């Protein structure tokens, strides 16, 4: 997931890039979008309606997790399958990845995942009410490794503030990156947000939580000696 500034100067959660959509992904987009893809609207999301829950369903109080930048959806689907009582709203903009995740949801029979193809910042600002999320996942956002591009990174103080506002008290934020310098920036920004508490005993990084699977790409990097850094914060107030 990439994070440039738009022409208005604000941070966005992506940069449009070209990529080939396979026939299977396109078929998933055409046949599954009506059931699983939520359109962006500048109004608060009705979670019960989005997940097809009746007013008397106990699931209407299920934990609500937002994932920002899910790539091809492998991790999203794996976590959702392991946590069937949680509701996952997965945000990304790239057609191949959206199609791939829709296909995974269908093949795995998942009922607890919905997808939005829109800028995550605008979704959080306009569709997610304050103090309503139980968790946020941001795994391996674009590190924009050149120094002159650091301003394009998603994890910056204003965005951290927005995430803290959307989390419930007791809710968590899980970040992961394989770029050490970006991990250090995430740590500095996260530790400075007064409403969030770093769950590491020494206020640094945590071992990979068991629910986050190791992807094939990540495993290749680990085998080559590359590092991966996980940070988990909890909202205090």
Beta bridge partner(s), residue 172: 135, 234
**CA dist., res. 109 & res. 67, Å (int):** 19
Give the model's pLDDT for residue 10. Answer: 55
Mean pLDDT value of segment 38-47: 96
Sign, CA torsion 157/136/202/183: negative
Write out the DSSP string of 139-179: ES-----SGGGGGG-S-SHHHHHHHHHHEEEEEEEEEEES-
**How much is the pTM?**
0.89
Question: pLDDT at residue 223 above 90?
Answer: no
Which of 5-9, 90-94, 125-129 is the least confident region? 5-9
Question: pLDDT at residue 100 above 80?
Answer: yes
The SS3 call for residue 68 is: strand
Give the model's pLDDT for residue 224. Answer: 79
Question: pLDDT at residue 7 above 50?
Answer: no
Question: pLDDT at residue 46 above 90?
Answer: yes
**CA dist., res. 89 & res. 124, Å (int):** 11
Helix, strand, coil percentages in the chain from 3-state DSSP, rounded to 5:
40, 20, 40
Question: pLDDT at residue 205 above 50?
Answer: yes
**CA dist., res. 230 & res. 237, Å (int):** 22
Give the model's pLDDT for residue 8. Answer: 38
Q: Is 39 left (phi over 0), alpha (psi -120 to 50) or beta?
A: beta
Label each residue of 177-229 as H, E or C.
ECCHHHHHHHHHHHHHCCCEEECCCCCCCECCCCCCCCCHHHHHHHHCCCCCE
Question: What token pair was written down for 18?
Answer: 């070209």
The SS3 call for residue 81 is: helix
Burial class (CB in 10 A: 0-12, 13-18, 19+), 103: buried
Task: Please state, in angstroms and as integers, the Cα–Cα distance from residue 128 to each residue in 66, 74, 84, 182, following that order.
Answer: 10, 24, 21, 27
Domains and CATH numbers, the chain: 23-235 (3.40.50.150)
Give the model's pLDDT for residue 176. Answer: 96
pLDDT band at 79; cut points 50, 70, 90? very high
Give the model's pLDDT for residue 5. Answer: 42
How many residues would you count in the chain?
A: 237
Give the model's pLDDT for residue 2. Answer: 45
Mean pLDDT value of segment 101-129: 97
Mean pLDDT value of segment 183-203: 98
The set of catalytic residues is 142
Q: Residue 118: which of 128, 109, 110 has the closest Cα?
A: 128
Question: pLDDT at residue 6 above 70?
Answer: no
């Amino acid at each position: 997931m990439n994070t440039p500034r738009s022409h208005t100067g604000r941070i966005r959660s992506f940069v449009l890039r070209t990529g080939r959509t396979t026939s299977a992904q396109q078929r998933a987009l055409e046949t599954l979008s009506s059931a699983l893809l939520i359109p962006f609207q500048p109004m608060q999301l009705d979670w019960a309606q989005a997940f097809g829950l009746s007013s008397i369903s106990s699931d209407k109080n299920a934990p609500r997790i937002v994932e920002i930048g899910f790539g091809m959806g492998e991790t999203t689907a794996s976590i959702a399958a392991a946590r069937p009582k949680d509701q996952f709203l997965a945000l990304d903009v790239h057609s191949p990845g959206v199609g791939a995740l829709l296909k995974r949801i269908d093949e795995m029979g998942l009922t607890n995942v919905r997808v939005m193809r829109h800028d995550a910042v605008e979704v959080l600002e306009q569709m997610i009410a304050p103090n309503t999320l139980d968790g946020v996942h941001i795994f391996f956002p674009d590190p924009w490794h050149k120094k002159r591009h650091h301003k394009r990174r998603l994890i910056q103080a204003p965005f951290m503030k927005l995430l803290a506002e959307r989390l419930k008290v007791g809710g968590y934020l899980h970040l992961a990156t394989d770029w050490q310098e970006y991990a250090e920036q995430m740590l500095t920004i996260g530790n400075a947000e007064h409403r969030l508490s770093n769950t590491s005993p020494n206020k640094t990084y945590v071992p990979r939580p068991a629910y986050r699977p190791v992807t094939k790409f990540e495993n290749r990097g680990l085998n080559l000696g590359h590092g991966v850094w996980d940070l988990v914060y909890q909202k205090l107030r």
